[in-house]
Amino acid sequence: MTILINSVIILSLLLGTFFIVMTAVGLVRFPDAYTRAHAASKSATLGVLFILIGVFIYFWQIEGTYNSRIILGIVFIFITGPIGGHIMARAAYFSGVKPTERTVRDDLKEEYERKKRSL
Amino acid sequence: MIKGILTIALIFFTITVVICLYRVIKGPTLPDRVVALDMIGVNMLSMIAIISLLQNTTAYLEVILILGILSFIGTIAFSKYIERGVIIERKSNR
């Protein structure tokens, strides 16, 4: 049983580390602000979730202390990580940051122009 | 076994923080920098989780929750500043 719990903890920590390193690769290689916000919000949230789940299982099964603070942190990060990415990308669009020139269609642009003319 | 994996994870997190600092310094627009700073906050949170595993203590677990809340508030405040120019608006129609 201990071997099974240890392997679950190790797998969870390795998956979390993998997703966070992939976030760093995305921050370097993606061309504009929107794709970078995409990479940072989604995969960093998933990586931190895996790491906190591993820490929670460690303290629960091996140390024997049940920490509700980690569960609260998991729920809070799971709610607020994508919200932060969305609001940041929205602010970037409305403050005039251009997307990359390889963009093929921009659906928000017509709507934004129409709203601005009607105001 | 698990101690070696934790050390390797800490090394990878340090590399990630350095890459995010590169994006903070070089990033061409302000939203890039804010996204990278948010990413650094999330990274520090998981580093603290792993350090609390390494030192075998549960005294750091409030720090995880508070760092999450602070990085979310910072991102929201910065995005309101970028979008509207003010963070806390005054009341209109007075």
Residue B24 belongs to some domain of the structure: yes
Number of domains present in the structure of chain B: 1
Residue B52 belongs to some domain of the structure: yes
**A101 pLDDT tier (thresholds 50, 70, 90):** confident
Kindly provide the ipTM of the predicted complex, given to two decimals: 0.87
Residue B56 DSSP one-character state:
T
Contact A30, B23 (CB under 8 A): no
Domain that holds residue B60: 1-84
Residue B9 belongs to some domain of the structure: yes
Task: Using the predicted structure, report yes or no on whether residue A65 has a pLDDT greater than 80.
Answer: yes
Amino acid (1-letter code) at residue A113: E
Residue B92 belongs to some domain of the structure: no
**A49 pLDDT tier (thresholds 50, 70, 90):** very high
Contact B33, A38 (CB under 8 A): no
Task: Using the predicted structure, report yes or no on whether residue A53 has a pLDDT greater than 80.
Answer: yes
pLDDT digits (tens, 9 = 90+) for B13-58: 999 999 999 999 987 888 899 999 999 998 999 999 999 999 988 8
Mean of the per-residue pLDDT values for chain A? 88
Chain B interface test: which of A4, A17, A67, A72 (most B C-beta within 10 Å): A17
Residue B89 belongs to some domain of the structure: no
pLDDT exceeding 90 applies to what percent of chain B? 39
Rounded to whole angstroms, how far apart are CA atoms A14 and A54?
10
Closest-CA distance, B41 to chain A, in angstroms, reads 11
Closest CA in chain B for residue A75: B65
Residue B10 touches chain A, beta carbons under 8 Å: no
**A52 pLDDT tier (thresholds 50, 70, 90):** very high
Closest-CA distance, A25 to chain B, in angstroms, reads 8
- Whether B72 sits inside 8 A of A27 (CB atoms) is no
Task: Using the predicted structure, report yes or no on whether residue A18 has a pLDDT greater than 90.
Answer: yes
Entry pTM: 0.88
Residue B8 belongs to some domain of the structure: yes
Residue B42 belongs to some domain of the structure: yes
